[in-house]
């Protein structure tokens, strides 16, 4: 049984979010939440909120196969961080010039499964 939750268009680069996602991949839900709550990275709070959303999805699932879901036995089976759309902005430079700055975003997906 798998439960998923996704966050689209989160305003942090995929590389930075993958650093946090790699720390919790394969861990139990309780351990992953502890790791994320102590992490100083910006993406840690968003991934923690997303993980709590996936747990809530597991609790509120209404099909007959998942009637006896034990939330304590769920693990983070898959967590992916993909690149999202980039915004292009102009930054003023010296002597009247300008340079382009790319503001990156990412799509994060969390999949929980039973042991």
**CATH (one of 3.40.630.10, 3.90.470.10, 2.170.120.12, 1.10.150.130) for 2-114:** 3.90.470.10
Q: What is the pTM of this model?
A: 0.87
Tokens of 83: 């690149």
Task: Write down the domain spans for the chain.
Answer: 2-114
CA angle 82, 25, 54 (to 5 degrees): 75
- pLDDT per residue over 65-87, tens digit each? 656 677 888 999 999 999 999 99
- pLDDT per residue over 19-57, tens digit each? 999 999 999 999 999 999 999 999 999 999 999 999 999
Whether 54 and 5 have beta carbons less than 8 Å apart is answered as yes
């Amino acid at each position: 049984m798998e439960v998923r939750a996704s966050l689209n268009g989160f305003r942090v680069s995929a590389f930075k979010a993958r650093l946090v996602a790699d720390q919790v991949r394969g861990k139990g839900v309780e351990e992953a939440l502890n790791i994320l709550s102590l992490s100083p990275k910006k993406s840690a709070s968003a991934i923690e909120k997303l993980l709590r959303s996936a747990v809530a999805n597991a609790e509120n699932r209404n099909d007959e196969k998942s009637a006896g879901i034990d939330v304590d036995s769920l693990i983070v089976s898959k967590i992916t961080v993909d690149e999202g759309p980039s915004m292009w902005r102009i930054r003023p430079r010296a002597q009247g010039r300008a340079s382009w700055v790319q503001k990156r975003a990412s799509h994060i997906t969390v999949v929980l499964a039973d042991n």
